[in-house]
Each structure stands twice: as structure tokens, then as C-alpha cells.
Amino acid sequence: MTVTATTSITACGAGREAVVRPPAPAAAEADADRDADEQAARKAALDAYSGYLTASRTASRHSDPYAPELSRFLADPLLTRVRMAIRDAKEHGAMRTGTLKSDPTVTAVSLIGVPATVEIQDCLDATGYRLVYTKDRRAVPGSGGKRYLATATATRYPDGRWLISAGAAHQDQPC
């Protein structure tokens, strides 16, 4: 006599419900979104950098370390450093005048980190930008300008603004 046993096997497991997830966006869509976000960050950072240079030149020309334009484009610790430099020049009877030429480029974008940052490199041409005595507009000795490398970091703050938070002039590195 032959006995045959049959059993039913449930593949999904007893008592479990299947979770249906929407399909992940196509790789091309995700890349396009990432590229658009990166381009927007680049533009916003370069706009903030340009605003920083303009605000700093204006504040320096007027010897006003608390010009409101500075805080529109700068954040600490760079904001405090710029204000101190303007104040020091003012206390010594000097101010900046002339033209500072800039040719910035974005060297890195990090949107994953918190906060998001954009690194900027610039070749500043300060040959027409001078520190002069306020009374007679004579150039302060040793303050002649030249072309040099500058770097800056733009940071996205929680309110969505991009501000320049760090910067360095590498005057020993011509460009």
C-alpha cells in the first residue's frame, strides 16, 4: 500500500502583508535633479561671493565696518574678520579705494553634508585697489596690490540663504 501526503506551502509567509512601494525614480531623473540642484547651488554661491566683494569694497570705501550689506552676504567667522579689517583701517586713518577685479570659479559642491557648502577659487586682481590715507588719499606704504589666489566657502543656512562664511587671500600664490 502506498500513502501519498500532500502539503501546501505558502511562499509569502503566514500572516504577513506585502508592502507595495512606488518604483524608484529612473537614474536619469535622479541625475537630472542632482545636476539641477548643483547648478542652483553654484549660482547662489557665486552670487553670494560677488555680493560679498561688492559689499566689502563699499564698506571699506566708507570706512563702515557695520554696513548692513556685509551681513547680507557674509557669515561668521568671515564677517567678523572683514569688520575688524575695516575697523582697523579706519582707526589708522585709512580706507580702501579703487577697483578689485574678480574671476571666481566653483571648485567643489557638497550638497550631502550639513550644512551644504560650495568651495570657490578666485584670481583677484588688486593692482587697482589701494589702501590710502583718508585725509589726503596718499597710498599707504607697502599696500600696493597684485594678482593673487583667493579661496572662499559659501554655506547654505537653514533659512535657505547662501552666505560666504570662510575665505582666505593667498597673496603668496600669484595667478
pLDDT tens digits along 122-145: 999 999 999 999 999 999 998 878
The whole-angstrom separation of Cα 15 and Cα 12 is 9
Averaged pLDDT, 22-32: 61
Does residue 92 contact residue 63 with C-beta atoms inside 8 Å?
no
Give the pLDDT of residue 5. 41
Q: What's the farthest any 2 CA atoms get from each other in the chain?
A: 122
Does residue 97 contact residue 137 with C-beta atoms inside 8 Å?
yes
DSSP state, 74? Answer: B
Under DSSP, is residue 159 helix (H, G, I), strand (E, B) or coil? Answer: coil
Q: What is the mean pLDDT of the chain?
A: 87
Give the global pTM: 0.79
What contacts 165, CB < 8 A, 6 or more positions away? Answer: 74, 75, 76, 77, 78, 153, 154, 155
pLDDT level of residue 112 (50, 70, 90 thresholds) = very high
Give the pLDDT of residue 28. 61
pLDDT level of residue 25 (50, 70, 90 thresholds) = low
The x, y and z cell numbers of residue 130, run together, are 589701494
The x, y and z cell numbers of residue 87, run together, are 575697523
Give the pLDDT of residue 23. 54
- pLDDT, one tens digit per residue, over 38-93 is 999 999 999 999 999 999 999 999 999 999 999 999 999 999 999 999 999 999 99
Q: According to DSSP H, which parts of 11-140 are helical?
A: 27-61, 68-73, 78-91
Averaged pLDDT, 144-152: 93
